[in-house]
């Protein structure tokens, strides 16, 4: 519960900060790009969770693989979301 | 007041970066805690009405993990498999030795059963197992005997043995008179009539949970799952081919369970024990049965530490604990095979639960990890269940070779008197290597739900590939003496070298 609250508030702040940073760069981020970014960050957090659980269970290999897969997909999604704005 | 060097905009950006870090840290910390929480130990989250795995969504009208393909037949524990028949072979007390000596009981048995379940001729198959298969296997037992004794008495298994024997050396009441007396003993003269069978079931499940059951479900007392022989409390057993009478008050079967100690089970075949499940499940059943008698109804306990007149596994399957798996034990979606069940028989009118199909048996068809890791080759490698016994089609497990495996790891030896080694009983490795044996946290619950809800079988394939790729299991060659390792490492609290400084002779009787 507490962790969920912290993660939720933290993520909200992260997106506010990112929005400020993107505005400074002159980027215009559309709704579908926001959606992709939110999904990517959620996936990344899932990967972090899988890593944390697996390390604590003593199944590190599974955790690193899950985290790696989640991070890879999240990064690809992030690039896919931001590539159009960077190009414009 | 001096102007701040950090603009409001930069502050928001910095706060955003801090928020991102906080999110990651919070998720990581919570996820780590989820792996270690007491409720993460399979089965322990199951309390009255709070099972995380909602079985109701998977309930079916009749069990789908085994098929009834003929006339169901009650089995005689003296004859039903080679393990039973060949017991006592070292002392010349096995079936085929007695048969060769002209014993009329076994002459009658072999005459009525000229072939075993594989269609192999009897008694020749029993002779082959005794004379050809057994000696080299027994040689492995004997070669490791000294090391196993050292392991449990002054070696790395010392603490595990001391813990285990505390579970094992405990007595529960057993029927000492016929059911007409034992089942009715102490039954209250005042009978409480429940308003409905549903409410009676709710009360009984509450009692079971109160005494520590992690799961309690109710099914019909199917006569075919009772043994044909061995009724407790009577002096003479039935003749071969005969069956003891199923008593009319054995109408409902209340199945209760407790898991075995999770981490020690993971370090099987050398560090765990069945008694951490046997003892508590017997405890629960004994108390539930006593409570039923106080309600004014007869009851009878069928439990590991009080004795059985039945195979309890099919009752667990029928009650919807899980499904009949490749190992021929009941594997549940939430606990895997990590539980030991007991049964209470009664005629208290109860609402019955249904069996489930949560994809466990279908997963077993593809998995076979237990078969691959069983070094005695006791578990079938066949894709589909193809072993017919007593009217039931299931996978085959060879009880004789399996029990030999128990003797080759940390069980079955004669340990020195009053040394704790007797508390260790191998092996349960088929349970600890099973992919369904996982903690109950968000990560594994997601996979369970994924597999249970996918009708295409793709989830089975994906999760099985992942299972094989990343979840490590120690090779079986390291389970036997002299290494005597577990499938996984033993838990911290069972590491003898971390706790015990030295060993010495106990000054018995001295201060």
DSSP letter string over B105-167?
HHHHHHHH-SB-TTS-BTTHHHHHIIIIIHHHHHHHHHHTHHHHHHHHHTSTTHHHHHHHHHH
**pTM across the whole model:** 0.89
Q: B307 has which bridge partners?
A: B303
Q: Which residues of A touch B33 (CB under 8 A)?
A: 56
pLDDT greater than 80 at residue B44: no
Q: Looking at residues B126-142, what average pLDDT do you find? A: 86
Please tell me the distance in Å from A84's CA to the nearest CA on chain B.
Answer: 22
**Model pLDDT for residues B402-414, shown as the tens digit of each residue:** 888 888 887 665 4
Q: Determine if the peptide bond prior to B157 is cis (ω within 30°).
A: no
- The residue with tokens 């400020």 is A20
Whether B303 and B286 have beta carbons less than 8 Å apart is answered as yes
Instruction: Give φ, ψ of B17 to 5 degrees.
Output: -65, -45
For residue B177, name the pLDDT band (cuts at 50, 70, 90): very high
**Most trustworthy range by pLDDT among A74-83, B98-107, B347-356, B499-508:** B347-356
Confidence check: pLDDT of B220 > 70: yes
d(CA B263, CA B288): 28
Chain segment B472-505, per-residue pLDDT in tens: 999 999 999 899 999 999 999 999 999 999 999 9
Return the HEC string of B295-339. CCCCEEEEECCCECCECHHHHHHHHCCCEECCCCCEEECCCECCC
Verify cis geometry, omega within 30 degrees of 0, for the bond prior to B160. Answer: no
Reduce the DSSP state of residue B421 to 3 states and report it: helix
Which residue is listed with tokens 């981020």?
A29
Which of B23, B25, B35 lies nearest to residue A57, judging by beta carbons?
Answer: B35
Question: Which of B16, B28, B30 lies at the smallest CB-CB distance from A18?
Answer: B16
B469 vs A contacts (CB less than 8 Å): 65
Q: Which of A11, A13, A65 sits opposite B470 (nearest CB)?
A: A65
Answer positive or negative: Cα dihedral of B304, B310, B311, B312: negative
Q: What is the DSSP letter of B55?
A: G
- What is the average pLDDT value for chain B, to the nearest integer? 89
Q: Quick one: pLDDT band at residue B49, thresholds 50, 70, 90?
A: low
C-beta neighbour count of B416 within 10 angstroms: 11
Instruction: Judge whether residue B17 has pLDDT over 70.
Output: yes
For residues B453 and B78, the model is more confident at: B453
Among A10, A61, A65, whose Cβ lies nearest the Cβ of B19? A10
Dihedral (Cα; B280, B281, B284, B287), 10-degree rounding: -100
Beta-carbon contacts of residue A10 (< 8 Å; ≥ 6 apart):
B18, B19, B20, B21, B22, B23, B24, B26
What are A's interface residues with B at a Cβ cutoff of 8 A? 2-4, 6-18, 20-21, 24, 45, 48-59, 61-62, 65
Taking the C-alpha atoms of residue B145 and residue B258, their distance in angstroms, rounded to an integer, is 32
Chain A residue whose CA is closest to B41: A57
Instruction: Give strand pairing partners of B215.
Output: B257
The reply to whether residue A13 touches residue B15, judged by beta carbons under 8 angstroms, is yes
User: Which tokens in the block code for residue B323?
Assistant: 């499904």
Radius of gyration of chain B (CA): 26
Answer with the residue of higher pLDDT: B349 or B39.
B349
Tokens 């993520």 -> residue: A11
Is the Cβ pair A21, B24 closer than 8 Å?
no
E strand or H helix at B393: strand B392-394
Q: How far apart are CA A28 and CA B35, in angstroms?
A: 41
Determine contact, residues B77/B43, Cβ cutoff 8 Å. Answer: no
For residue B398, which of B421, B382, B420 has the smallest C-alpha distance?
B382
Residue owning tokens 């490590």 = B472
What whole-number distance in Å separates Cα of residue A16 and Cα of residue B223? Answer: 67
Binding-site residues on chain B for chain A (CB distance < 8 A): 9, 12-36, 439, 441-443, 466, 469-472, 488-489
pLDDT at B281: 96
Confidence check: pLDDT of B152 > 90? no
Q: Residue range A33-51: average pLDDT?
A: 94
Q: What radius of gyration, in Å, describes the C-alpha atoms of chain A?
A: 15
Q: Please give the full DSSP string across B452-502, using - where no structure is assigned.
A: HH-TTSHHHHHHHHHHHHH-----GGGTSTTT---SSPPPGGG-HHHH---
Q: Which of B144-148, B190-194, B287-291, B341-345 shows the lowest per-residue confidence on average (mean pLDDT)? A: B144-148
Model confidence at B48, pLDDT cuts 50, 70, 90, reads low
Pairing of strands B387-389, B340-346: unpaired
CB atoms within 10 A of CB B10: 15
């Amino acid at each position: 519960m507490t962790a969920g609250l912290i993660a939720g508030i933290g993520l909200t702040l992260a997106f506010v900060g990112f929005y400020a940073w993107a505005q400074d760069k002159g980027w215009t981020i559309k709704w579908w790009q926001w959606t992709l970014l939110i999904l990517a960050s959620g996936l990344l957090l899932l990967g972090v969770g899988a890593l944390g659980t697996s390390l604590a269970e003593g199944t590190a290999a599974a955790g690193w693989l899950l985290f790696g897969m989640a991070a890879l997909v999240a990064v690809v999604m992030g690039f896919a979301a931001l590539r159009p704005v960077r190009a414009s | 007041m001096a102007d701040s060097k950090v603009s409001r905009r930069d502050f928001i950006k910095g706060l955003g970066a801090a928020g991102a870090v906080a999110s990651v840290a919070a998720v990581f910390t919570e996820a780590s805690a989820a792996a270690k929480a007491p409720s993460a130990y399979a089965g322990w989250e199951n309390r009255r009405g709070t099972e995380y795995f909602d079985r109701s969504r998977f309930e079916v009208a009749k069990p789908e993990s085994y098929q009834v393909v003929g006339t169901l037949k009650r089995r005689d524990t003296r004859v039903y498999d080679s393990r039973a028949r060949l017991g006592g072979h070292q002392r010349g007390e096995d079936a085929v030795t007695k048969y060769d000596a002209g014993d009329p009981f076994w002459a009658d048995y072999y005459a009525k059963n000229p072939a075993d379940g594989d269609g192999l001729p009897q008694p020749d198959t029993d002779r082959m197992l005794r004379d050809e298969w057994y000696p080299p296997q027994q040689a492995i037992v004997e070669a490791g005997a000294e090391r196993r004794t050292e392991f449990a008495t002054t070696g790395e298994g010392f603490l595990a043995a001391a813990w285990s024997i505390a579970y094992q050396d405990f007595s529960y009441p057993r029927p000492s008179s016929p059911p007409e007396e034992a089942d009715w003993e102490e039954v209250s003269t005042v009978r409480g009539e429940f308003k409905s069978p549903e409410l009676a079931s709710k009360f009984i499940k509450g009692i079971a949970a109160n005494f520590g059951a992690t799961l309690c479900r109710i099914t019909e007392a199917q006569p075919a799952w009772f043994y044909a022989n061995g009724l407790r409390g009577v002096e003479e057993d039935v003749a071969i081919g005969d069956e003891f009478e199923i008593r009319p008050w054995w109408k409902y079967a209340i199945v209760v369970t407790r898991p075995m100690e999770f981490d020690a089970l993971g370090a099987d075949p050398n560090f765990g024990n069945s008694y951490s499940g046997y003892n508590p499940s017997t405890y629960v059943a004994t108390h539930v049965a006593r409570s039923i008698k106080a309600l004014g109804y007869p009851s009878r306990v069928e439990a590991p530490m009080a004795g059985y007149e039945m195979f309890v596994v099919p009752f667990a399957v029928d009650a919807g604990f899980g499904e009949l798996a490749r190992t021929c034990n009941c594997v549940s979606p939430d606990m895997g095979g990590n539980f030991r069940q007991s049964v209470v028989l009664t005629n208290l009118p109860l609402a019955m639960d249904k069996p489930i199909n949560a994809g466990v048996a279908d997963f077993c068809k593809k998995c076979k990890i237990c078969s691959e890791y069983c070094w005695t080759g006791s578990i079938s490698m066949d894709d589909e269940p193809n072993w017919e016994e007593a009217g039931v089609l299931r996978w085959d497990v060879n009880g004789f070779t399996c029990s030999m495996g128990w003797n080759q790891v940390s069980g079955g030896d004669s340990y020195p008197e009053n040394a704790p080694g007797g508390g260790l009983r191998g092996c349960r490795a088929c349970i600890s290597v099973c992919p369904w044996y996982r903690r109950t946290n968000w990560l594994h619950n997601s996979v369970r739900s994924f597999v249970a809800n996918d009708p295409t079988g793709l989830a089975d394939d994906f999760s099985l590939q992942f299972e094989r790729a990343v979840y490590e299991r120690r090779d079986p060659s390291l389970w036997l003496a002299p290494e005597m390792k577990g499938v996984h490492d033993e838990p911290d609290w069972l590491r003898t070298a971390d706790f015990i400084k030295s060993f010495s002779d106990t000054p018995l009787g001295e201060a």
